[in-house]
Amino acid sequence: MNRSKGPRIIVVVVLAIVILAILMLSTIPDSSPFSILTAPIAKVVNPIYRGLRSVAGSVSGWFSSLRDTEEIRQENERLKLENARLAHELSQNQDAIQQYENLKDALQIKTRFDRYTIKGGYILTDGFTGWFDLYRINLGREDGINVSPENSYAVVDAGSFLLGRLYSSDVNSSKVMPLIHEGFAINAVVGEGTAAINMRVRGDVQLRSQGLCLADNISGQSILKVGDIVKTSGVGGHFPPGLVIGTVQELRFSKTGAIQSAIIKPSAPEENRSVVFVLIGENE
Amino acid sequence: MKSFIARIRPALVYILAIIIGTSLQFDGRFLGSLGLQADFLLVFPLLTGMGYGPRDGLIIGLVSGFFRDYLAGRYFGGGMFCTFLLGWGSGYLPVVRGKLRLAFYALMVIAATVIFQFIGAFLVFIGQSFQPRTNLLWILGKMGSNLPWLIVKNLVLTGILIIVHYILPPYPRSDRDYGGPMIRFEPGESNV
């Protein structure tokens, strides 16, 4: 192996300064130049990731199909191959049925949140570390989504359970900040009318690894109990009221005996998530 | 035409590797559902720098960091900064030839994984938005508990990348010797 000669140190220093400047700029909300700069790359790489994800899904589906037909394979060699082929086709069809069911459920969401347009999208890439990662979906500015400090969008699954919010968008994709992410926070409510308990639901570093989030700033603490369903309050106007966030799993008390915070178990199931829905308000 | 393909061959091989590697690293349904995702975007710039020097390491580090930030990062630049320095710096490590080459790669992958986990823990600590903040030691402990498994996965990935590199190297193989610092472990060779 031949090793290349190193670049001049000044090149490395300038690059380091430029990258640090980019890092500092990107921490400012609405740093739109980055999404404009990445637009050409997004145009090329996002369809590739979508395609590769489909291939990976098909391959894993094929392997699971083979695993499921193990008993039949032992019975007859000829039937084994036939069964594997049929099972592969079946898994493809089941995927299509599942997508249809998801879309059907999405239409039911629309009847509940008719002031919002619902856009269905696919997950392009998941996170990796589980600590600070977001995930990317295939909906972007071309689909009418333009994330800014003034514009935020709720992301839900087919059962209208809250998954998170859009964090940034570019030409054909957006990043989703999950509900359990440390940077996520939303106004929430338990109960209705005068009995409503208001709170803030947010991600927490310690709870994230368990797939949980935290509720604090709780009003009317005395009547909050384990098992209560936590929903979005609609305060702020970006998220519709009534989206299910999760259920109260545990209450944490202060030394005086008052409820200090609550641990919330999100209602959206973590596994096998491939389709998500973005709620776009009428005025956006 | 042939010389043109030879010229763009490294770029093609690197792009192909990054696209496939990142799609596997960031696909939670395929390897992720089994908990088998290794940190390709850490291992790849490291091996590239060690194999092909600081210039290739720097470029691949930049591209890998860009993809890490673009696909899953909250802020842009953090991943780029770390992996660009990693790729560039690894290009200055001595070339080890002979039987201990693989052990040297493994050692560097382990060291890089540990350092990146520490950096990650520190970034999580300083990036907390709400009070009260979680203690840095708690975050370090939690990340430390995941570290052995991540090291194993990164070592397996290193092995896979070495095999893939043998099949499809970015540059044609050459007998020319490297002129920089070199450690030899072949019988009959001087050590350094």
Q: B71–A4: do the CB atoms touch at under 8 Å?
A: no
Q: What is the pLDDT of residue B192?
A: 45
* φ and ψ of A137, to 5 deg: -120, 165
- A1 reaches B (C-beta below 8 A): yes
pLDDT category of residue A53 using cuts at 50, 70 and 90: confident
pLDDT more than 70, % of chain A: 79
Whether A97 and A173 share a structural domain: yes
Does ipTM exceed 0.95?
Answer: no
- Is position B17 within any domain? yes
Higher pLDDT, A147 or B1: A147
Q: Kindly report the CATH number assigned to the domain that includes residue A139.
A: 2.40.10.340
Q: What is the pLDDT of residue A131?
A: 59
What distance in Å separates the CA atoms of residue B101 and residue A172, rounded to the nearest whole number? Answer: 44
Helix or strand run (H / E) with residue A133: none
- Angle at which helices B136-167 and B101-126 cross, to 10°: 140
Q: Is the pLDDT of residue B37 over 50?
A: yes
Across chain B, what does the average pLDDT equal? 84
> Residue B29's closest chain A neighbor by CA?
A272
Cβ proximity of A116 and A145 under 8 Å: no
Whether A173 and A191 share a structural domain: no
Cβ proximity of A162 and A232 under 8 Å: yes
Residues in chain A with CB shorter than 8 Å from the CB of B55 are: 4-7
What distance in Å separates the CA atoms of residue B190 and residue B192, rounded to the nearest whole number? Answer: 6
Cβ proximity of A188 and A215 under 8 Å: yes
CA neighbor of A106 nearest in space, from A157, A63, A44: A157
Q: Is the pLDDT of residue B176 over 60?
A: no
Peptide bond into B170 cis (omega under 30): no
- Is position B18 within any domain? yes
Whether A83 and A223 share a structural domain: no
Whether A162 and A63 share a structural domain: yes
Cβ proximity of B124 and B94 under 8 Å: no
| Residues 66-125 in A contacting B (C-alpha not used; CB under 8 Å) | 123-125
What distance in Å separates the CA atoms of residue A47 and residue B150, rounded to the nearest whole number? Answer: 29
Q: Is the pLDDT of residue A89 over 80?
A: no
Whether A97 and A162 share a structural domain: yes
Whether A44 and A144 share a structural domain: yes
Q: Out of A147-156, A169-178, A267-276, B106-115, give the one with best mean pLDDT.
A: B106-115
Q: Kindly report the CATH number assigned to the domain that includes residue A227.
A: 2.40.10.350
Q: Is the pLDDT of residue A178 over 50?
A: yes
CA neighbor of A189 nearest in space, from A236, A156, A229: A229
Mean pLDDT of A204-229: 84
Domain holding A118, by residue range, is 39-179+272-281
Higher pLDDT, B87 or A53: B87
Q: What is the pLDDT of residue B89?
A: 93
Q: What is the pLDDT of residue A221?
A: 61
Q: B76–A26: do the CB atoms touch at under 8 Å?
A: yes
- Among A24, A26, A43, A205, pick the best mutation site for testing chain B contact (most B Cβ within 10 A): A205
Whether A206 and A175 share a structural domain: no
Domain holding B164, by residue range, is 2-170
Whether A43 and A68 share a structural domain: yes
Q: How many domains does chain A have?
A: 2
- Is position A144 within any domain? yes
Q: B53–A6: do the CB atoms touch at under 8 Å?
A: yes
Q: Kindly report the CATH number assigned to the domain that includes residue B67.
A: 1.10.1760
Q: B39–A7: do the CB atoms touch at under 8 Å?
A: no
Q: How many CB pairs lie under 8 A apart between chains A and B?
A: 168
Single-letter residue type at A280: I
Shortest Cα distance from B113 to chain A (angstroms)? 12
Beta bridge partners of A189: A198, A231
| Residues 255-274 in A contacting B (C-alpha not used; CB under 8 Å) | 271-274
Instruction: Give SS3 for A110.
Output: helix
What distance in Å separates the CA atoms of residue A204 and residue A249, rounded to the nearest whole number? Answer: 15
pLDDT digits (tens, 9 = 90+) for B95-153: 888 778 889 999 999 999 999 999 888 888 887 777 778 888 888 888 888 899 999 99
Higher pLDDT, A61 or B81: B81
Residue B99: other Cβ atoms inside 10 A? 10
Instruction: Give SS3 for A192.
Output: coil
- A37 reaches B (C-beta below 8 A): no
Whether A194 and A91 share a structural domain: no
3-state secondary structure chain B: CHHHHHHHHHHHHHHHHHHHHHHHHCCCCCCHHHCCCCCHHHHHHHHHHHHHHHHHHHHHHHHHHHHHHHHHCCCCCHHHHHHHHHHHHHCCCCEEECCCHHHHHHHHHHHHHHHHHHHHHHHHHHCCCCCCCCCHHHHHHHHHHHHHHHHHHHHHHHHHHHHHHHHCCCCCCCCCCCCCCEEECCCCCCCC
pLDDT more than 70, % of chain B: 89
Q: How many domains does chain B have?
A: 1
Shortest Cα distance from B1 to chain A (angstroms)? 24
Higher pLDDT, A120 or A272: A120
pLDDT category of residue B175 using cuts at 50, 70 and 90: very low
Cβ proximity of B92 and B56 under 8 Å: no
Whether A115 and A239 share a structural domain: no
